[in-house]
Structure 1
Amino acid sequence: MRPFGSSGTGSGSGRRGRDPLTGTLADRVSALLDLEVRRAARAGSSHDWILSYAELADGTRLFVKSLSRGSAPTGVLVAEARGLEWLGRSFGSPAIQPLGWDERLLVLPLVEQHEPTPAAAERLGRQLAGTHLTGADSFGADWPGYIGPLPLDNTPARHWPRFYAEQRLRPYLRRALDQGALTPSDARAVEKVVDSVEELAGEPEAPARVHGDLWNGNVLWRERDAVLIDPAAHGGHREADLAMLALFGLPYLDRVRDAYNEVAPLSSGWRGRVALHQLHPLLVHVCLFGAAYRTTAMEAARTAFRSS
Structure 2
Amino acid sequence: MTQVSPPAEAATRITGRAVSGQRSLSSGVTEVVLDSGDTVVVKRGHARNAIPAEAAGLRWLGEPGAVRVPEVRGHDDEWLVTDLVGGGRPTHHAAERLGRGLAALHAAGAPAFGAAPPDGPVDAWIGLAPMKNTAGEDWSRWYAEYRVLPYVRRAVDEGTLNADEAAVIERACARLPEVAEPPARLHGDLWNGNVLWGPVEASLIDPAAHGGHRETDLAMLQLFGCPLLDRVLAAYQEVAPLADGWTDRIGAHQLFPLLVHTVLFGRSYAGQAVAAAKAVGR
> Hey, what does 1:163 align to over in structure 2?
142
Q: Distance in 2 between matches of 1:293 and 1:283?
A: 7
Q: Is the Cα–Cα contact under 8 Å of residues 111 and 222 in structure 1 kept in the other structure?
A: no
- Specify the alignment match of 2:26 in structure 1: 44
Q: 1-side partners of 2:68 and 2:21: how far apart?
A: 28
2:240 to 245, 264, 274: 264
* Aligned residue-pair number: 277
Tell me the equivalent position of 1:18. 2
Q: Does 1:122 align with 2:88?
A: no
Q: Which residue of 1 aligns with 2:38?
A: 60
Query: Residue in 2 aligned with 1:110?
Result: 84
SS of the equivalent of 2:280 reads helix
Task: Describe the shift of the 1:44–1:92 C-alpha distance in structure 2 as closer, same or farther (beyond 3 A).
Answer: closer
Distance 1:166 1:19 in 2: 48
In 1, Cα distance between equivalents of 2:92 and 2:7 = 39
Which secondary structure state, in structure 1, belongs to the residue aligned with residue 72 of structure 2?
coil
Task: Work out which of the residue numbers 176, 188, 192 in structure 2 matches 1:216.
Answer: 192
- Partner residue, 1:205: 181
Does 2:108 align with 1:134?
yes
Q: Which runs of 4+ in 1 moved over 6 A?
A: none
Match of 2:132 in 1: 153
Kept in 1: contact 2:185–2:210 (CA 8 A): yes
Distance 1:224 1:29 in 2: 29
Maintained 8 Å contact 1:94/1:228: yes
**CA deviation vs aligned residue, 1:89-123 (integer Å, no higher than 9, x gap):** 12423332222111100112222211001110000
Q: Would the aligned equivalents of 1:41 and 1:52 in 2 still touch at CA under 8 Å? A: yes
Q: Verify the 8 A CA contact 1:91 1:134 in the aligned structure 2.
A: no
Task: Name the CA distance, whole Å, in 1 between partners of 2:137 and 2:214.
Answer: 15
Q: 2: CA distance between counterparts of 1:91 and 1:40?
A: 30
Q: Is the 8 A contact 2:67 2:98 kept in 1?
A: no
Shift of 1:294: 1.2
- Stretches of structure 2 that go unaligned for 5 or more consecutive residues are none
Q: How many angstroms does 1:62 deviate by?
A: 1.4
Does the CA contact (< 8 Å) of 2:45 and 2:79 recur in 1?
A: yes
Q: Is residue 2:9 matched to residue 1:30?
A: no
Per-residue CA distance 1:107-148 (angstroms, 9 max, x = gap): 122222110011100000000000000101111124222101
Question: Secondary structure, in 3 states, of the residue corresponding to 1:107?
Answer: strand
- Residue 224 of structure 1 deviates from its aligned partner by 0.7
1:174 aligns with 2:164: no
Q: Hey, what's the Cα distance between the residues in 1 that align with 2:3 and 2:225?
A: 40
Deviations 1:137-172 (A, max 9, x none): 111124222101221111111111111010000000
Amino acid in the other structure paired with 2:131: L
Once the two structures are TM-superposed, the CA of residue 227 in structure 1 deviates from its matched residue by: 0.5
3-state SS of paired residue (1:99): strand
Deviates more, 1:140-149 or 1:154-163: 140-149
**CA–CA distance in 1 between the matches of 2:197 and 2:26?**
21
Coordinate RMSD, CA, aligned: 1.5
Q: Give distance in 1, aligned partners of 2:247 and 2:25.
A: 39
Pick 1 or 2: higher relative contact order, CA cutoff 8 A, min separation 6.
2
Gaps of 5+ in 1: 1-16
Which whole-Å deviations, capped at 9, do the CAs of 1:41-73 have from their partners, x for residues lacking one? 33331xxxx1111101132211111147xxxx5
Give the Å deviation of 1:19.
4.3
Hey, what's the Cα distance between the residues in 2 that align with 1:304 and 1:124? 28
Q: What is the identity percentage for the equivalent residue pairs of Structure 1 and Structure 2?
A: 45
Residue of structure 2 equivalent to 1:294: 270
Match of 1:230 in 2: 206
